[in-house]
Amino acid sequence: MDKTIGQQRFDVVVIGSGIAGLSAAVAAANAGAKVAIVERANEEEYGGNTRWTEAYFRMKSESEVSDDFEERLISNAGDNLDPNIVEAMGGEYATWPPYVKAHGMPDPELVFALSSHAGPTVAWLRTFGIRFDTLPTYFVTAAAPRLMPVGGGLAMIEALLVQAKKLGVEVFYRTTARHLARENSHGDMSLEATGPEGQALEFDARSVIVASGGFQGNPEMMTRYLGQAARFVRPVARGGYYNKGEGIQMALAAGAAPAGDFGSYHAEPLDPRSGATEALVMNFSYGILINLLGKRFVDEAPGPVDVHYDHISRAFGEQPKGKVYVVFDKRIDDVPNWKRSIRTDQPVIQAESLEALAEACELPVDAFMKTVREYNAACPEGRFSPLEVDGLATQGLEIPKSNWSRPIGTGPFFAYPIIPGICFTYGGVKTNTSAQVIDADGRPIPGLYAAGEAAGLYYQVYTGATSVMRGAVFGKIAGEHAAARSSSHASANGT
């Protein structure tokens, strides 16, 4: 063991340096705590997923969340919910039975806390020079407004790291957290880690904040929870490979209750040919999706793409080899700014005939042509309105297309390959409105906090533009609460 580091004591140790971890570290240090960050990545690639994302916030202004914010999150609370649990959650939190407090579905109180703290958190971030604006997105149709930090997630983590260093936060790069233990009955924590040269390190702290992301970079955990479809899934950015799930596993081993859907993840449609960050193909609402058997398999356009791209992209993983093609024709030029939805750096596959397009994509030509003919025959007459949900739906198909249905017959013809890209996993640990980790009996675990992707929240369909936002909100809350806990302990001991 490195005795020097092993003998150091911090008020707060934060695992991870994404938006949740850096928000926690800055908030704790600003409140007077001595803070350390343990980060697996090197100094050039710190920041987790946040480093690589636009970091949209589901807000209509810097002080207000979208009108549908709470409704969307609560409506995606899980399948076949127990009415008794739902009823109990309608009462005051203090009256909830222990099994309800520990239940994995998102608490209404947690959702309300996220909603009510969003505006103040944006104002707090602005004090570090982070600017926000309503900038164009890659969604041609959208159901909710989005606020974006100018410069994306990278601008956020760079500004927060500058502030963290000003406040004396120590950052240990290329250092991986391995084991978490409670030192004594007062809730002091001990964190074992592995340093840059493989040396064993130990961090002693009053509180530990787990902000180390999900487990999309861990093939074993991915297969355990997602099944064999996990082999078809790839992180949308390099930050995902650093998220191997140790933080979640450590917290569960310490008694944390699980929360969020461990068997699912936030998906995006990714061009498998590209190594670029978020090489997305988001124009499938205006074409058809074809699997390697030459068949359609999903409604490509149930509504605005920002609402439905997540579950449609996950459906790719259920198809042969987890790979599909979006097929469209020249008339896509009728869609204003449609090229904004294409983020890949790879060229479109183009052909002068549908048969030639099928061959270029190595799809079975006969099956492909049969699918296109049936789809074309099912397309109705009517007004095509590309920027609104137009109800132009197919008729008589086993798998319908609910909007923007027009025959594919005007050459040239185009296609992009797509696979399910993973942004983050849904499963994590249960937390309360103070970002404290909750145990299986509904009680806060003293000195243990979680924020960001390590805290489970999502089920079913991802509520878009909320992940980075909740990382900032609950990271800040965790840091402030942990610092206050350290301060009160010091006061009680006369130090």
The whole-angstrom separation of Cα 235 and Cα 453 is 14
As given in the structure block, the two tokens for residue 463 are 């509520």
What average pLDDT does range 452-470 have in this prediction? 95
Q: For position 78, what pLDDT does the model report? A: 80
The whole-angstrom separation of Cα 306 and Cα 144 is 8
CA angle at 213 for the pair 90 and 143, rounded to the nearest 5°: 55
DSSP lists the bridge partners of residue 420 as: 269
pLDDT per residue as tens digits for the range 275-328: 999 999 999 999 999 999 999 999 999 999 999 999 999 999 999 999 999 999
Q: Do the Cβ atoms of 454 and 463 come closer than 8 Å? A: no
Helices then strands, each counted (H, E), the chain: 13, 18
| pLDDT surpasses 90 at 441 | yes
Which runs of E-coded beta strand occur in 226-356?
234-235, 258-259, 265-270, 288-291, 324-329, 349-351
SS3 label, residue 424: strand
* Pairing verdict, β 428-429 and 258-259: antiparallel
Q: Do the Cβ atoms of 269 and 342 come closer than 8 Å? A: no
pLDDT per residue as tens digits for the range 48-95: 999 999 999 999 999 999 999 999 999 888 888 899 998 999 999 999
pLDDT per residue as tens digits for the range 189-231: 999 999 999 999 999 999 999 999 999 999 999 999 999 999 9
CA angle at 64 for the pair 59 and 66, rounded to the nearest 5°: 45
Helices 19-30 and 152-166 sit at what angle, rounded to 10 degrees? 30
What average pLDDT does range 27-39 have in this prediction? 98
What average pLDDT does range 233-258 have in this prediction? 97
The whole-angstrom separation of Cα 471 and Cα 477 is 10
What are the Cα distances from residue 50, in Å, to 5, 18, 189, 251, 277? 28, 6, 27, 22, 12
* Mean pLDDT, the chain, integer: 94
Q: Do the Cβ atoms of 326 and 289 come closer than 8 Å? A: yes
Both ends of the chain: CA-CA distance in Å?
28
* Nearest alpha-carbon partner for 473 in 73, 52, 176: 73
Domains observed in the chain: 8-264+426-493 (3.50.50.60), 270-421 (3.90.700.10)
Cis peptide before 412 (omega within 30 of 0): yes
Torsion, Cα of 372, 374, 376, 377 (10° steps) = 160
The whole-angstrom separation of Cα 452 and Cα 239 is 14
R_g of the chain computed on alpha carbons: 24
What average pLDDT does range 390-419 have in this prediction? 98
pLDDT per residue as tens digits for the range 479-493: 999 999 987 655 555
Q: Do the Cβ atoms of 20 and 474 come closer than 8 Å? A: yes
Helix, strand, coil share (%) of the chain residues, nearest 5: 35, 20, 45
* Nearest alpha-carbon partner for 118 in 466, 457, 430: 466
Transcribe 127-190 into DSSP letters: TTT--EE----S-SS-SS--BEETTHHHHHHHHHHHHHHHTT-EEETT-EEEEEEE-STT--EE
Sign, CA torsion 317/319/321/323: negative
pTM given for the model = 0.95
Q: Do the Cβ atoms of 206 and 482 come closer than 8 Å? A: yes
What average pLDDT does range 420-435 have in this prediction? 98
pLDDT per residue as tens digits for the range 105-119: 888 999 999 999 999
Q: For position 185, what pLDDT does the model report? A: 67
50-87 burial, b if ≥16 CB within 10 A, otherwise e?
Answer: bbbbbbbbbbbebeebbeebbebbbebbbeeeeeebee
Q: For position 488, what pLDDT does the model report? A: 66
Which runs of E-coded beta strand occur in 154-287?
170-172, 176-182, 189-194, 200-210, 234-235, 258-259, 265-270
| pLDDT surpasses 80 at 5 | no
